[in-house]
Amino acid sequence: MTTYDERRLRIVSWNVNGIRARMPRIAEMLRRERPDMVCLQETRCPFRHFPHKRLGELGYRAQHSPGRRNGGVAILVRSDHRITSRCLSLDNQHDLAAGRWLETTCAGLTLGSVYVPAGPTRQELDDSGKLAFLEAVANQACHDHYHPMLIAGDFNVAPSDRDVYEPTWLEGSYATAAAEREDLRHILNDGELVDVYRHLHPDDHGYTCWDQRGGHYARDYGLRIDLALASSRLAEHITRCEVKHAYRQGRRPSNHAPLEIELEGIRDCAERAIAA
């Protein structure tokens, strides 16, 4: 049985594109990697069919928000951890969070799993729109949090042109439009958050999503839209952030690869945050 290392935490974030179809690959990842916590997006699974029992057999407790149609987010916590709080609302709005946002505090860390709506237009500004959702994430990040915060998931926004294989292919699309990128910058700036992968790998592509058709993965025609955003104090304790390509390969993969984040000295970081 895996035991909790108070000095180190490993977190995986993964858009699985259907948890029931991807369950063999999720089980493979959980057995092999044994992360402390996992953020899942696009579970595409009604509440009654969510595989709580199978995940329990693998040593994980799950919180799931199924949402509507093709959404759904979950947070898995390894059974040797104690969950201290959960949040099912985003910017005090339960309906907006449904299937798109979950928040859990565990091991001195507040962790948010997010699945941002894909779009399609920057003019869609009501509560169901992408821009309104990104604004709500920015507000959530600005709330007073007792513990350091990490937001991980599918943002459906490539932060800059260097996060897209060929920017002209997607010019003005939901993933690269100026309004979406501006809102993402607000989340980073107003919430005092750090784009962890880009901070650690300033010159690497770090693509996390590839079209399933046309050999895009083999050619590395990808996008970096799966992000991990850490509070500035927490970012100092993140020692690694890597794209796990092994799970984008093989039998029946998702079109997204998991992102793994490793933190060290989390207890010291949490204690300083509480003292502040």
Tell me, yes or no, whether 39 lies in a domain: yes
Q: Quote the tokens at residue 98.
A: 């449904």
Q: pLDDT band at 122, cuts 50/70/90?
A: very low
- 108 dihedral zone (left: phi>0; alpha: psi -120 to 50; beta): left
How many percent of the chain have pLDDT more than 90? 76
- The answer to whether position 116 is within a domain reads yes
Is 2 inside any structural domain? no
Residue-range definition of the domain harbouring residue 12: 8-275
The pTM score is: 0.93
pLDDT in tens, 66-112: 987 779 999 999 999 999 999 999 999 999 999 999 999 999 999 99
Domain count, the chain: 1
Q: What is the mean pLDDT of the chain?
A: 90
Q: Is residue 3 part of a domain?
A: no
Domain presence at residue 108: yes
Q: Can you point out the beta strands (E) in 8-148?
A: 8-15, 37-41, 60-65, 73-78, 83-87, 101-106, 109-115
CATH of the domain at 156: 3.60.10.10
Name residue 74's beta-bridge partners. Answer: 40, 64
Residue 246 within a domain: yes
